Amino acid sequence: MISYAFKWSSHNLFGKPFDALLSIIVLPGTLWLIYSILHWAISVAQWDIIPLSMRVLMIGIFPADQAWRAWTAAGIIAALLGAALGCVFSFRIHHAFFLALLLAALLTVGVGLQVSALTTLVAAVLACAWLLTSYVPLARHVLLPAAFTGFISVFAVMAPPGVGLWGGLLLSVLLTLVTAILSLPIGILLAFGRRSRFSSVRLICTGYIEIMRSLPLILVVYWIWILMPVLATGWSLADVARGMIGFTIFYSAYVAEYVRSGLQAVPRGQTEAARSLGMSEFDINRSIVLPQALRVVVPPLVGNVLDIFNAAPLVFIIGLTDFLRAGQMILANPQYGDRTYEVYSYLLLTYFLVGSMITYAARKLEAHMAIGSR
């Protein structure tokens, strides 16, 4: 191990004079920075604010006596995510170790026995669903209807206390999932519409895509929030729903461009051969063109999911309490006004972990869909 580290450092850090000079300058500063962060995190920081404010961070202003609804929704989402992961790559021992490490971290920060037990249960649901679809191929055939039923169940469980009370990390996750799922079929239709032989359809789709891509997301969300009551008079629509609509119509334009780039990558000879065999345009697009296009655009589509999650804090403009806003609410309390670094460090670490897990799943999905691995 030591010899390998020595060879690696000699080749990558000190292989050339310029590399050696950069390493001599950068490495001490990096080590000092790591030491300073660890010293602050271990000796100076007061992390008791995190377990005390965990409920606000996770569910915002959702009523405390209705927290079981949020845990139920989290369990359903965990089951759906685990089932989806099982379709991409099989559950392994190191995945179980990673889940156990996360649970141990929760116990370390002292979130309480009840929260730790419920978190363990949610993680167990995710692992069981992951195992089921990994090693029981028959379970994959019911994944789509199960996913549809699961999302309906999530909204049915969370709705009774009031949709406007949704908040925290759960709101950010729900917003990301709903936007990612709805924007994909809409984006596919827009991409095909932009390539349509009918000029009216092509102009409408092109205009929609270009307008959405030339506007900032915060403006789109704000205008949807303002215009929905005007366009749908007499029909009360919750702020959460309006925010999800704004995110969906905005990111659908970006999905359309990603898919269109994938459609252009499909060789024209394949479509011409399919037409010569008498296949209809619908069958050609569904069976030949679209599967190959989606395989090409997996990385940008996953990057789009990351963009949605990272842009979720913009819903503050319409009065919603997302994960970042929940942290700011905690700091607004004079009792915790001096815990700025602790709260924002926790927010940063959470965003980093979620983004890293999405990126890891994307790499596995990309390898699974690669032509050489099929």
Of 130, 160, 190, which residue sits at a domain end? 160
Position 7 scores a pLDDT of 67
Residues 116 and 177 in one domain: no
57, part of any domain? no
Residues 130 and 173 in one domain: no
54, part of any domain? no
Of 160, 191, 225, which residue sits at a domain end? 160
Residues 250 and 331 in one domain: yes
50, part of any domain? no
Position 374 scores a pLDDT of 45
Position 209 scores a pLDDT of 93
Beta carbons of 79 and 126 less than 8 angstroms apart:
yes
Residues 272 and 178 in one domain: yes
Beta carbons of 187 and 252 less than 8 angstroms apart:
yes
Residues 110 and 238 in one domain: no
Of 160, 181, 198, which residue sits at a domain end? 160
52, part of any domain? no
Cα separations (Å) of 180 from 41, 78, 157, 303, 372? 35, 16, 21, 11, 27
146, part of any domain? yes
Residues 143 and 78 in one domain: yes
Cα separations (Å) of 344 from 175, 321, 332? 21, 16, 13
Residues 82 and 145 in one domain: yes
Token duo for residue 77: 């989402």
Residues 196 and 67 in one domain: no
23, part of any domain? yes
The pTM score is: 0.84
Domain count, the chain: 3
DSSP 90: -
Position 12 scores a pLDDT of 62
Residue with tokens 């619908």: 282
Residues 357 and 235 in one domain: yes
d(CA 96, CA 77): 18
Range of the domain at 366: 166-374
Query: Mean pLDDT of successive 10-residue segments in the chain (374 residues)?
Result: 63 67 78 88 84 85 87 89 80 70 59 71 84 81 83 88 85 91 92 87 92 92 84 75 91 92 82 79 79 82 88 88 88 84 89 85 74 45
Position 255 scores a pLDDT of 93
55, part of any domain? no
Residues 129 and 27 in one domain: no
End-to-end CA distance of the chain: 35
101, part of any domain? yes
CATH number at residue 344: 1.10.3720.10
Residues 130 and 231 in one domain: no
Position 164 scores a pLDDT of 80
Residues 245 and 371 in one domain: yes
Sign, CA dihedral 65-70-76-82, equals negative
